[in-house]
Amino acid sequence: MKTILTFTLALSAAYAQAPQPKTPPKPPMSFFLTSEGSGKGANLGGLASADAHCQKLAAAAGSELKTWHAYLSTNTADGKPAVNARDRIGQGPWHNSAGAVVAKNLADLHGDTLDQARLGNNLQKLTALTEKGARINGGGDTPNQHDVLTGSMPDGRAYSDGADHTCKNWTSDGDGVAQVGHHDRTGGGNTSWNSVHPSRGCSQANLVATGGAGLFYCFAQ
C-alpha cells in the first residue's frame, strides 16, 4: 500500500511539473455593432465622422486595432462617385468581441458564390455583439432595434438607381431614407444582415418607428 501511495504522489508531482497546454489567445476584436448611434438619426456627419465614431467606441472598449471603418455605402452626389461599403473594410477575417469569427473574408461575408450564399456567414443576433460585448435587441424584444444602417445592396455595394438610399450620404436627419439590414436575420421577408428595407425616414424617431436605433456596423481593416 505504501509503495502504491508513493508512486501516486510521485506521479501527481510529475504531472504538476509538466508543462500544461496553453489556451490559444483570443483574437482581437475586428467587428462590432455600435452600442450607440449619433443621436441624430441617420445624420452621422458623413463617412469620416461615422468612421471616427467607430474609432471612439473601439478605443473606449480597449481595442488593440487602430483603423476602423463604418460599414456604409454612399450614393453618387456633388460630382463625387459612389462608395461601396464592402470596399471600406479590408479583407477579413473578422472576429467579434468574444473572439468568434463572423466572416472569413469579403466573399464569405456577402455570399459572393452560390455555395457561400447557401451556407451564409456567421453574422446573426448572437454574434453581432457591440464593442462592449452586449447583444442588441432584435425581433420579439422590446424595443426591437434590429434595423442597422448600411445604405447598401446585399452584395455590399451602393445603389446606382439615382434614388437616395443613404439619407443624403449620412448627413440628413430629415429628408431621405436609408437602406437597412437586420442584425438578427429575421423579418422583412428575407434574412439579410445588410439589406432588407428602407427606413421610414432619416430622423431618430423615424428610425425607431421601423425597428432601429441609428446603429451601424464597424469593421477593422
Range of the domain at 113: 26-220
**Residue 69 is part of a domain; what is its CATH number?**
3.10.100.10
Which pLDDT score is estimated for 37?
Answer: 97
- Ranges of the chain whose pLDDT falls below 50: 1, 4-5, 7-11
Which pLDDT score is estimated for 140?
Answer: 94
Write the secondary structure of 166-180 as one string of H (helix), E (strand) and C (coil): EHHHHCCCCCCCEEE
| In-domain check, residue 16 | no
Backbone angles phi, psi at 80, to 5 degrees: -100, 140
pTM of the model as a whole:
0.89
Count up the domains in the chain and report the number: 1
149 and 212 Cβ atoms separated by less than 8 Å: yes
| In-domain check, residue 9 | no
| In-domain check, residue 15 | no
| In-domain check, residue 83 | yes
| In-domain check, residue 156 | yes
| In-domain check, residue 161 | yes
| In-domain check, residue 21 | no
Span 109-158, pLDDT tens digits: 999 998 898 888 999 999 999 999 999 999 999 999 999 999 999 999 99
| In-domain check, residue 104 | yes
User: Which residue intervals of the chain are DSSP H helices?
Assistant: 2-17, 47-60, 106-110, 114-119, 167-170, 204-209
Burial 17-37 (b: 16+ CB within 10 A, else e): eeeeeeeeeeeebbbbbbbeb
Which pLDDT score is estimated for 117?
Answer: 86
